[in-house]
Chain A
């Protein structure tokens, strides 16, 4: 797991829940979140302020530039906001190159304001970074010199206190002028650190009559810290990115991964793709994906997957089974590439025993599948032999290779077996004069 974006409503809820009671500058946060289950008619009964003036409504689907794209609605009253949401609710839209459904929305009171600021906190290797500009509302790339970038050493917990505003205590350089915003910036910075948010952006943030409003919030969480943020995150479910509806098979593998000490990853890219992969190792899986997408039409790559850290035989059986279930549903000729480098400690025999069990279970419906294997590591000879023999017995076409074959050579074989190669093979391999 790694950094993942969360919804604006979730980010604002985190700030509301965790702002320390003794810290000044708490921003005004008032919102109503709309999810697929929300009954829009009864929403005002839970949020009476919805009937008290102008509102802003927008989709909350973790894509940016909503204003530019026409996805921010300023409504005179709740009725208008509701109509606007109903118009888009559940609709499939294309944002950039991603297609996804608009399921989640955010409604907030409309704040009449003059000034707009840009504020963001990001992480660098040895410092936290505060980005601030008095030209809020426009993109980071367009900020130019207006943006002050302040490095804050990791040990620093408070960034306020000097009369000259907020600045890096050890360096000269840019600073954020002291203003009514300073206590809020300080508090938000503290939460950014405390809540394991590797990215937190407010664009714009504004101040009206001494009160600070976060007009737009973007945040990412470090999912690796979830175990220690349980109390602060309060059971928040980290959503999938926009356009990534998660399938039951993906969900099952995700749950297996969470419970296992090993790593089991699976992302379905195209269920009608003809090239399926089950590659061992985070690094090797990237290289296999690179090779497949360079040799064949990327649309043919059905999935990205990765397993590592010596999973148990049972885990490998369950993991393989989920993938075979998807292969069964696709009625074209397909290939499955079981790839990987030379393992350091993952036992090839033990993990392949799980693969074999799963194939046996599904054998009757795998008539259109060919399997290409390249894997090495502890007990590889026995593991490869067992898989080869099992496939031979079941009459499933299968080739198995160990370290004697360059790692990704099976990709070319698999692609050629389906005649999917799109660039001529210009490769010239120097023969090895003294093979070891």
Chain B
């Protein structure tokens, strides 16, 4: 490749830098290419990021770590690393190991030894490093790293949206944008620009970029800006002398003022200090000039020198002024939406569930099928759909005495409307009533995943003073089994070959019921563990990751039990039950102590 990037290069952004990412996408849009950002890595949150491509808003995937990014988006071969100076090193190191082609690191203040270690490692693997302490690089009309080139008005003025004829490389990230403008105003603009960063040991030096410019037939002339400190200009001078760099090279090394200061001044760039006379700006400008580079007397004359060189090349017939492409306008009034929805859509002719028209679901007539699409964004196996329907049926009701039904009845008898009465019942669902399904599923799942034995698990829970969620029933016991559990378990065993979490929970039940007969795996627990076994393998990854946090299984209980709660509400309304008042003789009014 003659350039760092092409218009099909795609990247991973490390860090949730929404403005920088938007700038990259705006550049893509202006350059007439497809989005160059495939995903974001954010160790703290997997929530997708809302961004615009042109006028259209879309959700950019966010993953939690780099290896996940690599496996999900293998085509992206560039990392734009926005990690802090303290964590940037780990990102670079992992990025090299994962085989990324280019890694650009923005952070300033990375310890020198760390950068040197990256350099050695990157060399072994052939990784191209840019930075640290830089804004990045840009290939005109193809790909921009992060904020390189600034806001849209400036990047158009600097002609970064289309190819020119100049290769630029410099140390300073901030100055690179100024240079792109200067080059665009005095020639046809850049083909590629790189800011290697102001550190003492940048990940890549000026030289490899200059040599790439030399190889690229689109590049007619090279511009470099360097600074006081370091001695790599000697290598450039040698390459000029030996003819390895034959294209016109315009150079300027800044820092001539360093000698004028009455005391030690550390310039804003960590690498900008001269360890010896050979590292001063004066010495390096002289060296480059003597080797054949075009070096102005002052920085202020750099623009003229670029213009002069460009005009010479044009007269010699080596280059022609490029055609200016038509730029698509970026809408100015883009506003991020406040809501997002990924499960259904009512904007078309016919509403859809997960992209499938509602009519298809109606024809099928399966509630479980609609649930699987709207809750888990997927299609489940017919056996699973049937199992879900069985569960909903099994949990629909359990008589008027249980807490939820009781509350719905009390509310209904107070003449509350249907929905309020239903809610009164639903609001009772919690850790002690129907709401232990997720907790049970998660507890057994995690214990099994850790490889804890059933006995150790029971001992650990006891030692920490916790009840095991999903174990125990008020009435049912090993001698008086719960028929709902029996039916569900029989079906599950018959239709699903492997139920490891369920097996584990049943072994736990053997231990707990040996102590006390009613410490059975109750219906909450059984539904929880069987669904983890059956559902989890069938779910898409983003759904699976947050399975326990979201609370799907308690939701399933609430859905099923709503059937029964509504039944009780309707029943009471038909019977026109009077207001319920609890009998006073059923209440202990004292503080419970014996009175003498």
- A and B are interacting partners: yes
CB-contacts of B143-173 with A (<8 A):
146-151, 154, 157-158, 170-173
- 14 A-B pairs within 8 Å (CB atoms) are namely A4-B266, A224-B85, A240-B264, A263-B108, A282-B174, A284-B178, A286-B228, A291-B300, A342-B150, A342-B178, A377-B151, A377-B154, A377-B177, A427-B301
Q: How far is the CB of A232 from chain B (nearest CB, A)?
A: 13
A69 to chain B, nearest CB (A): 18
Question: Which single member of A125, A284, A403 contacts B175 (CB below 8 Å)?
Answer: A284
Closest to A408 in B: B300
B20 CB–A CB distance under 8 Å: yes
Query: A126: which of B86, B111, B120 is its contact (CB, 8 Å)?
Result: B120
A267 within 8 A of B: yes
Q: How far is the CB of A291 from chain B (nearest CB, A)?
A: 7
Q: Distance (Å) between the CB of B530 and the closest chain A CB?
A: 49
Q: Does B117 contact A (CB under 8 A)?
A: yes
Alpha-carbon gap, A153 to B120, bound state (A): 9
Q: Once bound together, how far apart are the Cα atoms of A292 and B257, in whole Å?
A: 8
Over the window 280-317 of chain B, the binary record of Cβ atoms lying under 8 Å from chain A Cβ atoms (1 yes, 0 no) is 01000000000000000011110110011000000000
Smallest Cβ-Cβ distance to B270: which chain A residue: A2
Within the complex, what minimum Cβ distance (angstroms) separates B172 from chain A? 2
Separation in Å of the A169 CB from the closest CB of chain B? Answer: 15
Verify if A413 is at the interface (C-beta below 8 Å from B).
no
| CB proximity to A under 8 Å, residues B298-356 | 298-301, 303-304, 307-308
Q: CA–CA, A226 to B108, complex, Å?
A: 14
How far is the CB of A332 from the nearest CB of chain B, in Å?
Answer: 18
Question: Shortest distance in angstroms between A268's beta carbon and chain B's nearest beta carbon?
Answer: 9
A62 smallest CB distance to B (angstroms): 10
Taken residue by residue from 276 to 320, chain A's Cβ proximity to chain B (1 for < 8 Å, 0 otherwise) reads as 000011111111011111100010010010101100000000000
What is the CB-to-nearest-CB distance from B134 to chain A, in angstroms, rounded to a whole number? 10
A126 touching B119, Cβ below 8 Å: yes
CB contact between B113 and one of A225, A340, A376 (< 8 Å): that residue: A225
- Flag whether B509 is at the interface (Cβ < 8 A): no
Interface residues on B, range: 35 or more
**Alpha-carbon distance between A403 and B181 when the two chains are bound, in angstroms:** 8
Taking CB atoms and an 8 Å cut-off, the chain A residues in 76-100 that contact chain B are 97-98
Q: Point out which of A241, A301, A342 has the most chain B C-beta atoms below 10 A from its C-beta.
A: A342
B263 within 8 A of A: yes
A244 to B266, CA, bound (A): 12
Residue A25 is within 8 A (CB to CB) of chain B in the complex: no
Residue in chain B with minimal CB distance to A98: B263
Q: Is the CB of A342 within 8 A of B299?
A: no
Q: B257, A2: Cβ atoms under 8 Å?
A: no
Query: In the complex where A154-B120, A269-B262 touch, is A282 in contact with B112 (Cβ < 8 A)?
Result: no
Q: Of B111, B150, B299, which contacts A345 at CB under 8 A?
A: B150
**Contact partner, B260, options A280, A282, A298, Cβ 8 Å:** A298
Q: Residues of A contacting B113 with CB < 8 Å?
A: 123, 154, 193, 196, 198, 222, 225
B116 within 8 A of A: yes
The reply on A432 being an interface residue by CB < 8 A is yes
- State whether A225 and B269 are in contact (beta carbons under 8 Å apart), knowing that A244-B264, A293-B260, A341-B175 are contacts in the complex: no
Contacts of A284 in B (CB 8 A): 172, 174-175, 178
Complex contact B120–A343 (CB within 8 A):
no
A293 CA / B265 CA spacing, docked (Å): 14
A281 to B173, CA, bound (A): 8
- Judge whether A13 is part of the interface by a CB distance below 8 angstroms: no
Interface set, chain A 334-358, CB cutoff 8 A to B: 340-345
Task: Determine which residue in B151, B200, B272 has the highest number of CB atoms from chain A within 10 A of its CB, and name it.
Answer: B151
Q: Is A406 an interface residue (CB 8 A)?
A: yes
Q: Mark A198-239, 1 if CB is under 8 A from B, else 0.
A: 100000000000000000000000101101100000000000
Q: Give the shortest distance, in Å, between A131 (CB) and chain B (any CB).
A: 14
User: Taking the complex as formed, is B185 at the interface, i.e. its CB lies under 8 A from any CB of chain A?
Assistant: yes
Interface flag for A3 (CB, 8 Å): yes
In the complex, the chain B residue whose C-beta lies closest to that of A155 is B120
Cα separation A291 to B299 with both chains bound (whole Å): 8
Known: A263-B268, A293-B256. A126 touches B154 (CB 8 A): no
The CA of A172 and the CA of B86, in the complex, are separated in Å by 37
Provide the residues of chain B in CB contact with A153, threshold 8 Å: 120
Tell whether A1 pairs with B157 under 8 Å between CB atoms, given A289-B257, A290-B254, A344-B135. no
Encoded as 1 (CB less than 8 Å from any A CB) or 0, chain B from 76 to 113 comes to 00000000011000000000000000000000111111
Q: For residue A294, which residue of chain B has the nearest CB?
A: B298
Q: Which of A125, A286, A427 contacts B119 (CB 8 A)?
A: A125
Chain B: CB-nearest residue to A261 = B84
Q: 4 closest A-B pairs (Cβ-Cβ)?
A: A283-B172, A282-B268, A281-B174, A341-B178
Q: What per-residue 1/0 map shows which CB atoms of B14-44 lie under 8 Å from chain A?
A: 0000011001000000000000000000000
Docked pose: A377 CA to B110 CA in angstroms: 26
Task: Categorize the interface residue count of chain A.
Answer: 35 or more
A285 and B267 within 8 A (CB): yes
Asked if B304 contacts A304 (CB within 8 A), the reply is: no
Nearest Cβ on chain A to B140's Cβ, whole angstroms? 15
B198 near A293: Cβ-Cβ < 8 Å: no
Question: In the complex, which residues of chain A have a beta carbon less than 8 angstroms from the beta carbon of B269?
Answer: 282-283, 286
**Is B61 an interface position by the 8 A CB rule?**
no
Bound-state CA distance A225–B86 (Å) is 9
Q: Which residue of B lies closest to A97 (CB)?
A: B262
Residues on the B chain within 8 Å of A287, using CB: 175, 254, 299
Set of chain B residues within 8 Å of A193, measured between Cβ atoms = 113
Residues in A neighbouring B111, C-beta threshold 8 A: 196, 222, 224-225, 228
Is B273 in contact with chain A by the CB < 8 A criterion?
yes
Q: Which residues of B contact A379 (CB under 8 A)?
A: 151
Contacts of A126 in B (CB 8 A): 116, 119-120, 123
Measured between beta carbons, the chain A residues less than 8 angstroms from B150 are 342-345, 377-378
A406 touches B268 (CB 8 A): no
Given known A-B contacts A241-B264, A282-B269, A285-B267, A290 and B257 have beta carbons under 8 A apart: yes
A434 CA to B264 CA, complexed, in Å: 44
Given contacts A126-B123, A154-B120, 13 further A-B contacts (CB under 8 A): A125-B205, A154-B117, A224-B109, A225-B113, A243-B264, A244-B263, A283-B170, A283-B254, A341-B177, A342-B154, A343-B177, A344-B177, A432-B186
Contacts of B438 in A (CB 8 A): none
B271 → chain A, closest Cβ, in Å?
A: 7
User: A98-B263, A126-B119, A290-B256 given as contacts; is B174 within 8 A of A343 (CB)?
Assistant: yes
Known pairs A341-B175, A376-B154; A282 contacts B198 (CB<8 A):
yes
Task: Indicate if B184 sits at the interface (CB-CB under 8 A).
Answer: yes
Q: Which residues on the B side are within 8 Å of A309 (C-beta)?
A: 108
Instruction: Name the residue on B nearest A225 (C-beta).
Output: B111
Q: Is the CB of B268 within 8 A of A306?
A: yes
Please tell me if the beta carbons of B112 and A222 are within 8 angstroms of each other in the complex.
yes
With the chains together, A366 CA to B300 CA distance in Å?
30
Chain A residues lying within 8 Å of B117, measured Cβ to Cβ, are 154
In the bound complex, how far is the Cα of B303 from the Cα of A432, in angstroms?
Answer: 10
Contact A269 B263 (CB under 8 A): yes
**Are the C-beta atoms of A281 and B256 separated by less than 8 Å?**
no
- A259 interfacial by beta-carbon distance below 8 Å: no
If A286-B272, A287-B175, A340-B174 touch, whether A3 touches B263 (CB-CB below 8 Å) is no
In the complex, what residues of B have CB within 8 A of residue A98's CB? 262-264
How far apart are the CA atoms of A154 and B124 in the complex, in Å? 13
In chain A, residues 38-92, which have Cβ atoms closer than 8 Å to a Cβ of chain B? none
A15: CB under 8 A from chain B?
Answer: no
- In the bound complex, do residue A286 and residue B112 qualify as a contact, i.e. CB atoms below 8 Å apart? no
A342 and B120 form a contact (CB under 8 A) = no
Contact A123 B116 (CB under 8 A): yes
Q: Is the C-beta of B227 less than 8 angstroms from some C-beta in chain A?
A: yes
* A37 interfacial by beta-carbon distance below 8 Å: no
Given contacts A222-B111, A283-B173, A344-B177, whether A291 and B151 have CB atoms under 8 Å apart is no
Cβ of B299: which chain A residues have Cβ within 8 Å of it? 287, 290-291, 408
Q: Is A12 an interface residue (CB 8 A)?
A: no
Known: A2-B273, A344-B135, A430-B304. A243 touches B116 (CB 8 A): no
What distance in Å separates the Cβ of B183 from its nearest Cβ neighbour in chain A? 12
